[in-house]
Structure 1
Amino acid sequence: MVGFGQSAGGAGGAGITTATLRDLAPHGASILDRHRLMLVTKGHGTHEVDFEVYQCRPGTLVWARPGQLVRPGGQPGLDATLLCWTPGPWPAAPDPGSVDGAAGGGAVTVPELPDGGPTHRQLAGEDEDAVINEVSQLVVDCERGLSPELLRQQLATLLLRVRLLGPQSTQAPPPVAGAQPPEGLWPAGEVEAFDRFRDELERGYARTRRVEDYADRLGCCVRTLTRASLAATGRSAKQVIDDRVTLEAKRLLAGTDLPVAEIGRRLGFPEPTNFGRFFQREAGQSPGAFRAEAAGGEAPGPPATEAVAGGWAGVPAPRPPLDPVTGYVQA
């Protein structure tokens, strides 16, 4: 059985944690505080990310980001390898010329990690072989305690490969910041406008839901944001804003035990009744009803930072300094 708990972090390392899960059992919803890439190695089951349930079997890749809500659906016999890493800049490399190994002040050697990439992908053929090989090598090298720079470069290479996989052939490509849409689909100005709008929305959705405020901050008109949003998502700018607030409300209702009134205040609703009306309109049910349905009889889980591993599968047997109880490998 596998549960979620706090990891024993190693400050100053590569910032990467790996683990292999056995019998990934169903678990309460948790809000991530770091990136988590899961590669299924055995069995069949489900894994939920932000209320979207994904079918899992060998070769399934699920990439969840910080702030997203996850809920393992489990089913006994489902095994997977996890890679976890924290967002933001990583520590600078130690200066080889320093007596105490202090960080150097020269050029930054940590690669810039790509943010984009599919949330869910069923690998096959050469793509599957390449990803499995890179994940397995990264796990082994973490276990061996190799250079943090090497591990970071390996992770960056793996994530770039995953990002370039794109969506499943049955899915419409989601808009990715900085990516160009198929020729003739969006005017270039609308791509840039929506990217900027989305970035500003991430910073301000808890403060304002007015399209006019975002237009003012971006130095454009409401019509421009609406046109860009319609081109990118098929929904107006106002709908995109309300969708983002509703998603965050769902995450907090399902993944925490915060009072409904406090969740409303965090999302810019001083009056609980206003939050209740907003959520009812957008989600089709009251906050309390949604929380009860999402809980399914389970209390919200803690922030999902790591998994306790019951053993290794698909990689060499663990050697010291791997913890034989938890199965953590911390670099």
Structure 2
Amino acid sequence: MVPSGQLSPATRPDLPTPEIDLLDLGDLAREPGWRRPTLLDADLLILVTGGHGTAELDFRPLPCRPGTLLRASPGQVLRCTPQLDATVVRWRGETLRGLDVDPDAVPTHHQLAGEDEDAVINEVSQLAVDSRRHRANPAARALLRHELAVLLLRLALLPSDRPGGADGGPHRSELATFHRLCREIERGYQHTRRVEDYAAQLGCSVRTLTRACLAVTGRSAKQVVDERVALQASRLLAATDEPVARIGRRLGFPEPTNFGRFFTREVGVSPGAFRAAREQPLRRIVRQRRPADPAE
């Protein structure tokens, strides 16, 4: 079993903040009972160890029970039903620099079973033990980094439903173009929503970007860009108390009315109504459309 009930490193003021630490799911909640979503500031693996319920990752409801694995990234918002217990592996910054591992290859949501579940539980348990025992020993940094890398490599081998493997799916070149666009959007969505600007950055045509987006997501390049902006707005509205007008300005809308119209068109409700719903039960704060996820 994964160790639980121990004082997590996050609650030990006498110890420095580690690159890798293990904590309980409840330690991530901003308020008791997950009344509001939490805006994440680190990479996470979440292994559900008890209870049945739902986790919302970027407003996408994911069913959870013992053996469910979730992968979350900095900047996403997370909210869980209080009935869930889970062990969380958290790492920050450049922890995996120099190691041949891609955390984004890990499925966002996967139900473990059989030998896969046993192996993952064993590796998470060992990581928890070593993190606790060797926390104050700088020489153990390499051990913990490599244990995390092995865990991520194992998880990357799990089956997934990512596009591109079946007949009739997007071609490899279209997938590559789509992922390049997603990376460029991450760098520039606060400054421009013009597909022409992204095409110029990538050295291709608007038509090429649109064809790739349609093949991978069924939506145009303009829709992919706008949905990324709407997702960020949703995150900030749900997980922070930042004024609506300031959120709009951060996302390139000098006029609050323009931001309100944009958000209402993309999400289906006004920014104020969306924020008001954040403390409602999980089923009440689900976005109408799921934005393109470059990690899937």
TM range (shorter): 0.7 to 0.9
Provide the rounded CA distance (Å) in 2 between the counterparts of 1:21 and 1:271: 39
Secondary structure class of the residue paired with 1:247: helix
Secondary structure class of the residue paired with 1:115: helix
Residue 141 in structure 1 maps to residue 146 in structure 2: no
Percent identity between the aligned chains?
56
Residue 73 to residue 291, structure 1, CA distance change in 2 (3 Å) = same
Q: Give the CA deviation at 1:82.
A: 1.1
Tell whether the 8 Å contact from 1:47 to 1:74 is kept in structure 2 after alignment.
Answer: no
RMSD after superposition: 2.7
Tell whether the 8 Å contact from 1:109 to 1:149 is kept in structure 2 after alignment.
Answer: no
More helix by share: 2
**Higher Rg of the two aligned structures:** 1
Tell whether the 8 Å contact from 2:10 to 2:23 is kept in structure 1 after alignment.
Answer: no
Residue 193 in structure 1 maps to residue 181 in structure 2: no
2:268 paired residue number: 284
1:174 paired residue number: 162
Secondary structure class of the residue paired with 1:47: strand
Point out where structure 2 has 5 or more consecutive residues left out of the alignment. Answer: 282-296
Q: Specify the code of the residue in structure 2 equivalent to 1:165.
A: L
- After superposition, residues 244-323 of structure 1 pair within 5 angstroms as 244-296=228-280
Secondary structure class of the residue paired with 2:263: helix
Q: Comparing both chains, which one has the higher relative contact order based on Cα–Cα distances under 8 Å and sequence gaps of 6 or more?
A: 1
Residue 150 in structure 1 maps to residue 143 in structure 2: yes
Tell whether the 8 Å contact from 2:9 to 2:22 is kept in structure 1 after alignment.
Answer: no
Which stretch has the larger CA shift, 124-133 or 181-190?
181-190
Tell whether the 8 Å contact from 1:110 to 1:149 is kept in structure 2 after alignment.
Answer: no
Residue 206 in structure 1 maps to residue 190 in structure 2: yes
Point out where structure 1 has 5 or more consecutive residues left out of the alignment. Answer: 92-107, 168-172, 298-331
2:42 paired residue number: 34
The counterpart of 1:90, out of the listed 82, 92, 95, is: 95
TM-score calculated relative to the size of structure 1: 0.74
1:116 paired residue number: 105
Q: Give the CA deviation at 1:205.
A: 0.8
Residue 116 to residue 288, structure 1, CA distance change in 2 (3 Å) = same
Q: Deviations over 1:3-45 (max 9, x none)?
A: x99665735x5x1010245799631211000012111112222
2:116 paired residue number: 127
Secondary structure class of the residue paired with 1:26: helix
2:75 paired residue number: 67
Q: Deviations over 1:244-286 (max 9, x none)?
A: 0111010000000000000000111011000000011111110
The counterpart of 2:154, out of the listed 153, 158, 161, is: 161
Provide the rounded CA distance (Å) in 2 between the counterparts of 1:253 and 1:49: 15
Provide the rounded CA distance (Å) in 1 between the counterparts of 2:269 and 2:26: 36
